[in-house]
Amino acid sequence: MTDLFEVIDATWPAASTRLAGGFKVREGLGGGSRVSAASLEVPLDEADIDAAVAAHRALGQPPKFILRPGEAALDAALAGRGFELFDPVTLFTAPIAALSSDVPPVTAFAHWPPLAITREVWAEGEIGPERQAVAERAAGPKAAVLGRTSDRAAGAGFVAIHEGVAMLHALEVLPAFRRRGLARSIITEAVRWAGGEGAETFALVVRSANAPAIALYTAFGMVPAGKYHYRREPVA
């Protein structure tokens, strides 16, 4: 299967990237950790960590690194420099053919570009203009998914495809409308849309501490496919 980290980079892209030593440093422009972290691209040379830190500072963003499976040496080197661990994340995947694509009527629909009401729902939650701009940058097939419950728009998500893998991002359900099945409807519509676009695999990432979300994805038929985390300079 396509490397899921490549899928993340393609479907939730940084504003720019540059090489600093052996690291790829992403410019996030406020779009969150996934688009503003440095990743190791060659065998570790600890001197390259300084180059990555300098590149982050030149971009005006706090130094931050993504730690993927097999990068224990980098993890230890960063820990030794005082970089703190945060945001452990779990990747989930499933074959699209194994997931339900029957969307309850009038609960969710895919569209692009995002409607004004979709942007409003995102903005009411944690998906502000900087993160919405990340979705705009995705180059492949993509869609916003608006979710409705109680006769109003109350949730939204974003899905994009890279090399046959559809990845869900920016899933937001407004607090007053949670635990009503709306997140499941949004995911189901994203699966339906992705299957129609020829994708074969559905994927997403979730904070490992988010037990309710993990329970939902597991019940939906998705399975863990890997983990990663970040390290950053201690927040003052």
Q: What digits encode the pLDDT tens for the residues 26-37?
A: 999 999 999 999
Q: Assign 126 a pLDDT band (cuts: 50, 70, 90).
A: confident
**Residues 110 and 11 occupy one common structural domain:** no
pLDDT of residue 2: 73
pLDDT of residue 199: 98
Cβ within 8 Å of residue 101, ≥6 positions away: 188, 191, 192, 195
**Residues 29 and 101 occupy one common structural domain:** no
Question: Whose CA is closest to 204, among 28, 31, 34, 71?
Answer: 34
- Mean pLDDT across the chain: 96
| pLDDT tens-digit readout, 51-96 | 999 999 999 999 999 999 999 999 999 999 999 999 999 999 999 9
**Residues 38 and 112 occupy one common structural domain:** no
**Residues 103 and 137 occupy one common structural domain:** yes
* Residue 234 belongs to a domain: no
| pLDDT tens-digit readout, 199-236 | 999 999 999 999 999 999 999 999 999 999 999 998 76
**Residues 124 and 66 occupy one common structural domain:** no
* Contact call for residues 2 and 9 (beta carbons, < 8 A): no
Among 89, 122, 145, the domain boundary falls at 89
pLDDT of residue 120: 97
* Residue 112 belongs to a domain: yes
**Residues 105 and 151 occupy one common structural domain:** yes
Domain containing residue 188: 93-226
**The pLDDT of residue 1 is above 60:** no
pLDDT of residue 128: 97
Total of domains in the chain: 2
**Residues 85 and 103 occupy one common structural domain:** no
> Could you tell me what percent of the chain has a pLDDT over 70?
99
Among 89, 108, 124, the domain boundary falls at 89
Among 68, 89, 110, the domain boundary falls at 89
pLDDT of residue 231: 98
What CA dihedral angle connects 56, 60, 62 and 66, to 10 degrees? -40
**Residues 118 and 41 occupy one common structural domain:** no
